[in-house]
Amino acid sequence: MATDAAASSAPLPRFPDGFLWGVSTSAHQIEGAADEREPSVWDVFSAGPGRIKDGSTAAVACDHVRRHREDVALLAGLGVDAYRFSVSWPRVASPGGLDFYDRLVDDLCAAGVRPVPTLFHWDLPARLDWRERDTAARFARYVSQVAGRLGDRVTKWITLNEPAEHTLLGHALGVHAPGERLLFDALPVAHHQLLAHGLAVRALRAAGARDIGIANSHGPTWPASREADDVAAADFYDTLLNRLFADPLLLGHYPAGLGELMPGDVEADLEIIAEPLDWYGINYYAPARVGAPQGDESDHGGVRIPAGMPFSLRGIEGYPVTDFGWPVVPEGLTELLTGFRDRYGDRLPPVVVTENGCSYEGLDDQDRIAYLDGHLRALHRALEAGVDVRGYFVWSLLDNWEWAEGYARRFGLVHVDRTTLERTPKASYAWLRGALREQRRG
Ligand code: IFM
């Protein structure tokens, strides 16, 4: 069902001077050229039967490795300040792999678009495993290698993308790569990614970087009712999705009861994990409605929550939904940003919204325009409420390979034909270009 929301005809409010406007993608979702790099956990996972809804793999994706010049031209035409892409560790580990990113960064700089690489966006080399502590140290060595090659032109860095989803969907519930169903035994995977993040911050600083953040996914967690057991379940889910991945970075400790479950010398690791950040990236899509356990397995948009979890996920009623079935709740972004500021106070560095977007079909994507318009107004309300937000990145530039959904979901401002791979800017691309021009006119 499509949303019936409409973009406001009023111009967007004015964002502060220097506000960073960008779009995001990730390596595995767009690059293709899979035969020119070593396999990642996603190559192995997607080769298994029944794992990806349309049976596809990302072997071709958007063929961005070969067509990146065209994609850089699209970015320049859109008028964004910055492009958030990810560097594929399996590609960098393969002969000549860094050459591609070298060219991409050169082309972006020549086009006046600031490169903002994410160093890990879920495509772990298949020979590695986040359950192993050593993966964090290996990550830091790979980060040094990338920074050594690109650091003369890249000034803004992102360590990890959404370690929460990679842990929960990939290692606890098994619906993403590597397909492990460890439930709470997946907690070491969270710890080792956070440790990898802290080590990466140190490696980047050693290479001279001064503008470092992370892209963590967060959302408000709304209790299903005011009953105590629903409120407790929503608090628990808030801890799992929000606090588990933010408290160690911003406060230097895990939420109560979780540090004891982590492997290794947790206190010493937390000192590394809490390396100061220059900014904190938040990916926002929708709030979660959470209730007390209902006693049996539940299906939440294709994600099966096993019986025995201390919470259940419920539908969000009363809001339009995207073609993916995700509720469209712009005010959730205001709530999230003000809530983070209230929770972390001056421990929260300036925030950047590193992802926000929606999946809709069609070239005349008025629903996406309404979505972006609504979320930008919601972000502006957070600015007015005093939250220090410095940038906003749309997910995504291109229709791409949406993980376990395959090619069925279209998040792009630019349509990609699945047969010819031809790129066609959608109505939302023109809308965003116009909105950015307006902002610059003041
Ligand atoms: O496509 C993903 C992206 O890789 C991570 N954040 C959410 C997006 C939409 O599901």
The whole-model pTM stands at: 0.97
Q: How many CB atoms lie within 10 A of CB 292?
A: 20
> From the CA of 68, how far away is ligand 1's center (Å)?
20
Q: From the CA of 217, give the closest atom in ligand 1.
A: 6
Alpha helices of 111-186 — where are they, by DSSP H?
Answer: 134-150, 163-167
132: in domain: yes
HSE-CB of 162 using CA atoms within 13 angstroms: 21
334: in domain: yes
Task: Give the tokens for residue 186.
Answer: 């997946």
Is the distance from CB of 397 to CB of 62 less than 8 angstroms? no
Q: Rounded to whole angstroms, what are the CA distances from 272 to 198, 214, 351?
A: 5, 14, 21
Q: How many CB atoms lie within 10 A of CB 250?
A: 20
Between CA 22 and CA 143, with CA 69 as vertex, the angle to 5 degrees is: 65
Give the integer Cα–Cα distance in Å for 153 and 247. Answer: 32
| The pairing of beta strand 423-425 with beta strand 414-416 | antiparallel
Q: Which of 370, 363, 357 is nearest to 326 (CA)?
A: 357
Q: What's the pLDDT tens digit per position in 83-101?
A: 999 999 999 999 999 999 9
Q: Which domain holds residue 397?
A: 6-441
404: in domain: yes
Q: From the CA of 121, give the closest atom in ligand 1.
A: 4
129: in domain: yes
Q: What's the pLDDT tens digit per position in 187-203?
A: 999 999 999 999 999 99
Give the integer Cα–Cα distance in Å for 80 and 75. Answer: 6
What CATH number does residue 210 fall under?
3.20.20.80
Task: Give the tokens for residue 133.
Answer: 């502590």
Reply yes or no on whether 355 is catalytic: yes
Q: What's the pLDDT tens digit per position in 230-286?
A: 999 999 999 999 999 999 999 999 999 999 999 999 999 999 999 999 999 999 999
Helix (H) or strand (E) holding 41: helix 41-47
1: in domain: no
Is the distance from CB of 160 to CB of 172 less than 8 angstroms? no
Q: How much of the chain exceeds pLDDT 70, in percent?
A: 98
Residue tagged active-site, from 31, 162, 180, 402: 162
User: Domain tally for the chain?
Assistant: 1
**Ligand 1 residue neighbourhood (C-beta within 6 Å):** 26, 29, 162, 283, 355, 395, 402, 411
> From the CA of 224, how far away is ligand 1's center (Å)?
25
> From the CA of 403, how far away is ligand 1's center (Å)?
8
pLDDT for residue 402 is more than 90: yes
Reply yes or no on whether 162 is catalytic: yes
194: in domain: yes
Between CA 286 and CA 329, with CA 405 as vertex, the angle to 5 degrees is: 15
> From the CA of 296, how far away is ligand 1's center (Å)?
28
Residue tagged active-site, from 38, 180, 275, 355: 355
SS3 for 439? Answer: helix
What does R_g of the chain's alpha carbons equal in angstroms?
Answer: 20
